[in-house]
Structure 1
Amino acid sequence: MENSHTEFKEFWKDDYLKVIAAFANSNGGDLFIGISDDGRVVGIGNYKKFLEDIPNKVVQLLGITVDVELIKQNGKDILKIAVTPSSVPISFHGKYFIRSGSTVQELHGHELRDYILKKDNITWDEITIPQAQLEELDEKLIRRFITKAVNENRLYAEALNDDIQLTLGNLDLIKENGQLTRAAVLLFSKRPKKHIRTATVKIGRFGLTDTELISQDIIEGSVLEMPDKIIGILRTKYLHSPITYEGIERKERLEYPEKAVREAVLNAIVHRDYTEQTDITIRVYNDKIVFWNSGTLIAPLSIELLKQKHPSKRRNALIANIFFRIGFIEAWGRGILLITEEMKNAGMPEPIIEEYAGGFQITFLKANLQSMEKSVEKSVGKTVGKTVGKTVGKLLVFINENSKITREKMAEKTGLSIRGVEYNLNKLKKEGLIKRIGSAKGGHWEVIEGD
């Protein structure tokens, strides 16, 4: 039976050298000549010629050696060509092939690039940019990184006084010939887009549909500074920070767990495929926030494996190392587990994790109304009394979601009468938790901030 390591051919053709190349570029395998696709032994004539010709052609056209063995089976002659894995990429007529199951697959574009980099045991961000100059790097940013990394005990203390070029060299960001790596440019250049056009993050606020773009921001510059920039913009412009109370203590939290949001941002920056001409996107809706970056999961990782303990696989090893040293990420592949745990602790649904449009996507959904009510009820229960906690919780949820909500709408949502809504609103006002700004028709509700 044919599989990833075995293939049958009834007769020999020189075109089958691509099968041998595919085995060499994968995990090796055996090519049998004289056996049909369905496994029937048909035999091969003039085997002596093939025993001499095939090894010579493999050497001449592929640059590797193979073992060709004559086997007698059912009284017929067949050839077994044993191919071992190659440590370097093997091409046939300028094309590269690999084994995919029981088929031969030609590599193109990004797949070919990733394969060659993997064979050479380097990652994309380790490649140098000859035209990039040391003077283009932000010395102040580099010094801040060094100080933070030393304080995190993830960089040797002598780096505080060492020459910057020496430190960057020790971190493999500058090669021995003085050339800057792509990672050095992305992390510390004053203008990374001068050399790498895809160093961009887009944030958008959408209405009810994807075509209803309400506002957007574009974040550029050093990827090391991007996480704080993105979180800052999300906090001030795109995400609400509902105010709740524990007793009389005011609590202001992002509408999604900030640790989870930050981890999703870091994941997108560190693991994205920077060769793709696309940007990292963060799409904010009324009921969800969606993070997307180019680059699917690296084998053997899968969506299922991400949700359990798994090894850390890095597309951009140097960038990941710098983010680790500054304390942004850990080296244990726990990012998705941390996000899931934070969402659970906040009473929110488990995030939706998927490979989408040639990239990786994670979606945070808002807590449903019931879990939000319980959270608010718990926060205000000590202040306004347990007997009205549930109703008050609902009203505070509604006000946090829509400051212009009407009494009539609250009555519709809660099942209370207008008078019942007014009674509970008065309770909240007497406790100093809300106030009404403006007229009944044109005004809005406001949650009062504590001291």
Structure 2
Amino acid sequence: MSNALYTAISAFSNKNGGSIFVGINNNNQAVGISLGKNTLENLANNIQRNTDPSIFPTIKVVQEKGKNIIIIKIEENEEKPVFFRDKSFIRVGKTNQRLSSSEIRRMVPDGHSGVYWDEKICENALIEDIDIEKLKWFLKESNNERNRDLDPELPIKEVLNKLDLIKDNKLTNAAILLFGKDPQRFFRQAEVQCARFKGTNPIDFADRKVFSGNIIDQRDKATDFVKDHIKLETTIIGTERIDKWEYPIEAIREAITNCICHRDYKLNSNIQVRIFNDRIGIWGCGPLPDHLTIKEIEKPHNSHPRNPLIAKRFFDIKFIEHWGTGIERIIQSCLDAGLPKPLFEIKSGDFVVTLKKYKITDEILKELNRRQKKAIDYLLEKGSITNKEYRTINPEISRRTALNDLRKMVDKKLISLEGSGSSSYYILVY
């Protein structure tokens, strides 16, 4: 049977149920299907093997104009989502649409019970799995950074209770990720992969490392990896030495911290930090929360952490703030460093932050007219520009002149046209 059959079974199982007719063509004509001795039994077994959780449909054969038609009746499954080959689908009209990561999460019962993943009990985890020294370090840091009054010499269990990291007398997922001796024994996906590529494509590795252990150390190790692979420029002004990184370390650290804190730990994937000659990409695991869009996160917004326990403990040691300002700080750090506004995207279901280099040389500027130079300044500050915005900063020109100016900049490979029609805009080429 084709993949389309199993896709339809997943879709019907996830919503409302339905019947699938095998032996009827797209014109609703009976073409029939040949039946062997074990056809129906094999079909039922294949459906069970290719669905997760396994689906047990009702299967029967009817005759239509002397031809065999198989009818597979699917009931909406109580346990959702139902997957076929690690993908899940839902019926929309007459088509089967693949579910996004956020749609899948909404189907999971925990998403409706108010129980966050990091608050859940980590089965089989014991107090002995906690790194006492890391916990004591955390207590000292939180006392210093947030004026908390937690005694590092208290019994471990009492401390973890005060930090809300024990539930029903058992360790939570957050406890293991924050202070576990070996968190990957419980969560193999809780790692940060870092790579320095040769050139501008993710093909040839110059260096790569995988950082495991607790998520506090992961944040620092991943940041240090980036520092090892970007340039540090030093200038002397009078008696003062000034160091300037190729990219602002504050922005890199903030982006990595956000990914570790807000990633979807239910997904079987790793955070990735990708360093190229012209950019750094930091890939999270999972999209933005359902109520947020890319445009909204660039503005002041309330903080809605996916993992509130981890977020609270990161707040205790000033890794993050509660006020939803992380993205703003990343943007401002890049602009202050003379770099363009970072790019925020959803790629393959994951939230991605890209920091880019753009060095405007005197040679480039000499080739531009006054209007185009103003556009470069605008792009460095805002990240993109439309024809209308170009005319706003150059009010004396027509739409056609603006279009000609922008086209010449495209031809020089300074900018590229994105989108189409009324939604088109230009960005710097890096």
What secondary structure sits across from 2:166 in the alignment?
Answer: coil
What secondary structure sits across from 2:335 in the alignment?
Answer: helix
Report matched runs for 1:247-396 at 5 Å. Answer: 247-370=238-361
Question: Percent of aligned positions with the same letter in both sequences?
Answer: 32
Q: TM-score, normalised by structure 1?
A: 0.58
Work out which of the residue numbers 182, 185, 199 in structure 1 matches 2:190.
Answer: 199
Larger-gyration structure (1/2): 1
Alpha-carbon distance in 2 for matches of 1:108, 1:370:
43
Residue by residue over 1:359-403, the C-alpha shift from the partner in whole angstroms, topping out at 9 and shown as x without a partner, is: 1100001131439x99xxxxxxxxxxxxxxxxxxxxxxxxxxxxx
Deviation at 1:245, TM superposition (A): 2.8
Query: Residue 346 and residue 100 in structure 1: after superposition, are their counterparts in 2 closer, same or farther (change >3 A)?
Result: farther
Per the alignment, residue 171 of structure 2 pairs with: 180
Alpha-carbon distance in 2 for matches of 1:254, 1:322:
29
Q: Does 1:118 align with 2:102?
A: no
Query: Residue 146 and residue 361 in structure 1: after superposition, are their counterparts in 2 closer, same or farther (change >3 A)?
Result: same
Per the alignment, residue 385 of structure 1 pairs with: none
Q: Does 1:132 align with 2:108?
A: no
Q: Which moved more, 1:248-257 or 1:127-136?
A: 248-257
Contact 2:101 2:287 survives alignment (8 Å): no
Query: Residue 247 and residue 174 in structure 1: after superposition, are their counterparts in 2 closer, same or farther (change >3 A)?
Result: same
Aligned length: 285
Deviation at 1:19, TM superposition (A): 6.5
Q: TM-score, normalised by structure 2?
A: 0.60
Alpha-carbon distance in 1 for matches of 2:146, 2:100:
43
Q: Does 1:168 align with 2:149?
A: no
Per the alignment, residue 433 of structure 1 pairs with: none
Query: Residue 366 and residue 105 in structure 1: after superposition, are their counterparts in 2 closer, same or farther (change >3 A)?
Result: closer
What secondary structure sits across from 2:236 in the alignment?
Answer: strand
Deviation at 1:126, TM superposition (A): 1.1
Query: Residue 193 and residue 113 in structure 1: after superposition, are their counterparts in 2 closer, same or farther (change >3 A)?
Result: same
Per the alignment, residue 141 of structure 1 pairs with: 134
What secondary structure sits across from 1:297 in the alignment?
Answer: coil
Per the alignment, residue 237 of structure 2 pairs with: 246
Residue by residue over 1:407-431, the C-alpha shift from the partner in whole angstroms, topping out at 9 and shown as x without a partner, is: xxxxxxxxxxxxxxxxxxxxxxxxx
Work out which of the residue numbers 130, 146, 151 in structure 1 matches 2:144.
Answer: 151
CA RMSD of aligned residues (A): 3.1
Report matched runs for 1:217-232 at 5 Å. Answer: 217-232=209-224
Per the alignment, residue 214 of structure 1 pairs with: 206
Query: Residue 95 and residue 163 in structure 1: after superposition, are their counterparts in 2 closer, same or farther (change >3 A)?
Result: closer
Query: Residue 164 and residue 343 in structure 1: after superposition, are their counterparts in 2 closer, same or farther (change >3 A)?
Result: same
Deviation at 1:274, TM superposition (A): 1.5
Deviation at 1:101, TM superposition (A): 10
Deviation at 1:338, TM superposition (A): 0.5
